[in-house]
Structure 1
């Protein structure tokens, strides 16, 4: 091999080596860029944002870690307006920085419903009709009238409200009810009932709801009536329109089956006497 050929061969290997080194360096630089751009290995456990507004989330600087996208809003009377009720991915998910978090918020406006026509319905029918519309009984007002337990007037904010009027869902309606010949009604047994069912039972029994006490904190899913005042009595009666107070406890912490068996006598027992119970305040 000539000396010139040797130099050419040597230069070839030098260029080849330099090319390989430059390729490795370039690959390493690109790899580092990708790692930085995608925050490779930088992961976070997604918190539970339920009950927080977007403003609160921003104040906690979570918007610097994740991108929040509102996909829907719903009507909800149990949570603050504008607060998160659903998130995806769910809380506890391991995600990278800047992950899109899709949230559903409580609507800022209140859902509207039509007022039903309750006139001449029985009290029980009226309570059911209101509940089906998402409305509640605010107060029962009994007046002397031969049509016992029939609805004579329906009021909203102290004014007569006509059928078809548009009002906010969850609004309370006052009902003017006829006394009929009987001014007293049996006291319902409420122990063990959930709050909404207890309120319905009180109203349908011709009474108003008084004070409501949550002894273990408020939990609609597990709260049940633990105590009622006036207390239930198999022969006890109360003047229509009087109030009943209830206290609630969680069924996670209390044995309601045992309490019901203790308080309520054999259903086959009947009394020949009637007790007029004075309300306890």
Structure 2
């Protein structure tokens, strides 16, 4: 033990210790300076503002600043194609030379989507569905139909478009809607052979009403009597909604129904 203590007091030990310490310091300094040069520790540049520029101008600005870039694209309806809408890192952020700046731009070409189901939907529902699919409503046309504000047809470029057809985002879709009033005219039905109750039900079903009811002589049970003539008749073709149809009923039904005005041959007359 005494020999070790004596050696530690010698000049040889002190010299070796100083050499070892100097060697460690030299290695540490070399590594520190090397990393500083490699990582360009004291060198940084400010990220330029490229958000809001066209992609070509943004690329030029980044290249002039010795920065790399990577581009992703999205579609936005009514936005200018090629416009930079996002950048990462943000403007004025300090980065090292060669750093990659991530850009999001508006795509130059709109993608296509499958046309959604909007037929038989209300106008409010159809508007929401089209908006969610980045489609726009063009012209709205109302036609006679009992269903008010219900989509009866959807058209693109003047042609009906079916569900599932591929269509470019941002396209305008024209809608054909019902006005809630139905048709103004209907076809006159053939009521021959019906009882008065059956005829009244048939007329109400298409928006017509029962007019004057006349029973032929000899009719004892009006509930079983059958229509033998009606006015207006089938030869008239169509009549306005709400019009009245006059009937003549009898217990004997002719093989060929006539359509003369029942008031000209009436025997007994009743009003419904």
Q: TM (normalized to structure 2)?
A: 0.47
Q: TM (normalized to structure 1)?
A: 0.46
